[in-house]
Amino acid sequence: MSNILVYAEIEDGVVHDVSLQCLAKGREIADASSGKVDCLAVGSGIRAAAEGLGAFGAEAVFVAEDAKLEQYLTSPFKKVVSDFLKTNSYDLILFPATTVGDDLAPAVAEALGVACVLHCDGLAGDALTRLEFDRKVSTTYKAEGCTIASLKDGIAVAGAPDSSRSAQVSDVAVELDAASTKSKVLRRDVAKKTVNLKDAKIIVAGGAGVGTKENFSLIEELADALGAQIGATRAVVDAGWLPADHQIGQTGVTVRPAVYIACGISGAVQHRVGMLDSGKIIAINTDKNAPIFKIAHYKIEGDLKEVLPKLVKLIKA
């Protein structure tokens, strides 16, 4: 029997999609072993979103609310989650593999002295699998006793809410001491979401090979001609050519459009994991050995400054 707790990451009143995927996966495992799945939500102003988790299959939802938990920080969140787990026991605790989940999961594991496996791409019974060695090897990890894991985007399909289901919602007392409030968030510069890459049918993405901010007009023209959204690599976001909401990959969004046009993108594994399930991949790169070509359906070896205007012309013709 597996009793599972899912950490519900809630930002701006919305439960993170990967937390919902964890819940769907947890449900699957609990159902197969006559176990149960509960959720724990920590933060401020999260109650309404947390209550909605019942419709996604949670049996009980625990809400730890406090104004001091408005922004994520390791120590106070670790304190709240580990205090909760000291009085509530679970076999498996699932976190979304986000910068919050991957930070909190090992911290909680340390506080409790239990096993931790991050970035799992698969979970079956008690076997946790991770894709390693540039996704060439699937490694299976087994843990003793209570196990904490973070699951990657794509682990399951977040089910549709079923309004006939509801969860028992209870409050969790929050006790923060001096030791758990030593650090602070001074400021956050978070891009407002201006693009919806997740639902895009076609994405034209630019990488460092675009060369300059001005050259992004080439990407824009193709995207306009196709009615596509614009994506980017981290190199582009770091260079300040596009805001962070355009970033695709491990620390950006994971996308599955019908068509993905990669322009001047080398295809580092951290980028590929965010786009490799695209229907058709077109890659334009001057380097015939660029790793992106290994996953591309159409390989165009050439300079994007010449190829992109040609594509625009052909589409408009």
Beta carbons of 23 and 57 less than 8 angstroms apart = yes
Q: How far is the CB of 269 from another protein (least distance, A)?
A: 8
Written as six digits, the tokens of 35 are: 């176990």
| Residues 145-174, interacting with another protein (CB under 8 A) | 145
The one segment of 68-76, 156-164, 183-191, 207-215 that binds ligand FAD by CB under 6 A: 207-215
In the shown chain, the binding pattern of residues 281 to 310 toward ligand FAD, with x for contact by CB under 6 A and - for none, equals ---xxxx--x------------xxx-----
Q: Would you put residue 212 in left (φ > 0), alpha (ψ -120 to 50) or beta? A: beta
> Contact region for another protein (CB under 8 A) — 28-36, 47-55, 163-171, 250-258?
250-258
- Which listed residue (33, 44, 66, 115) binds another protein by CB under 8 A? 115
Using CB under 6 A as the binding rule, whether residue 209 contacts ligand FAD is answered as yes
Calpha distance 198→115 (Å, rounded) = 33
Q: Indicate whether 251 belongs to the interface with ligand FAD (CB under 6 A).
A: yes
130 contacts which partner out of another protein, ligand FAD, none, CB within 5 to 8 A by kind?
Answer: another protein
Residue 61 CB neighbours (<10 A):
24
Contact with ligand FAD (CB under 6 A) among 8, 35, 264, 296:
264
Contact between 19 and ligand FAD (CB under 6 A)? no
List the one residue from 24, 40, 116, 273 that touches another protein (CB under 8 A).
116
Smallest distance, another protein to C-beta of residue 220, A:
18
Of 172 and 263, CB closest to ligand FAD: 263
Do 25 and 37 touch, CB atoms closer than 8 A?
no
Of the candidates 269, 265, 202, the residue with the CA atom closest to the CA atom of residue 236: 265
Number of residues that bind another protein (CB under 8 A): 89
**Residue 184 partner contact from another protein, ligand FAD, none using kind-dependent CB cut-offs of 5 to 8 Å:** another protein
Q: Of 109-117, 125-133, 169-177, 263-271, which part binds ligand FAD (CB under 6 A)?
A: 263-271
Nearer to another protein, 74 or 166 (CB): 74
99 binds another protein (CB under 8 A): yes
Return the residue matching tokens 């050439």: 302
Q: Which of residues 187-206 bind another protein (CB under 8 A)?
A: 187-191, 193, 201-202
Backbone angles phi, psi at 280, to 5 degrees: -125, 130
Least Å distance, CB 250 to ligand FAD, is 4
Element containing residue 118 per DSSP (H, E): strand 115-120
Question: What DSSP letter does each residue of 237-281 carry, written as one string?
Answer: HHTTSS-GGGBBSTTSB----SEEEEES----HHHHTTTTT-SEE
Q: Which is nearer to another protein, 167 or 197 (CB)?
A: 197
The DSSP string of 34-76 is T-EEEEEEEESS-HHHHHGGGGGT-SEEEEEE-GGGSS--HHH
Q: Which two tokens stand for residue 123?
A: 């979970």
Q: Quick check: helix, strand or coil at residue 25?
A: helix
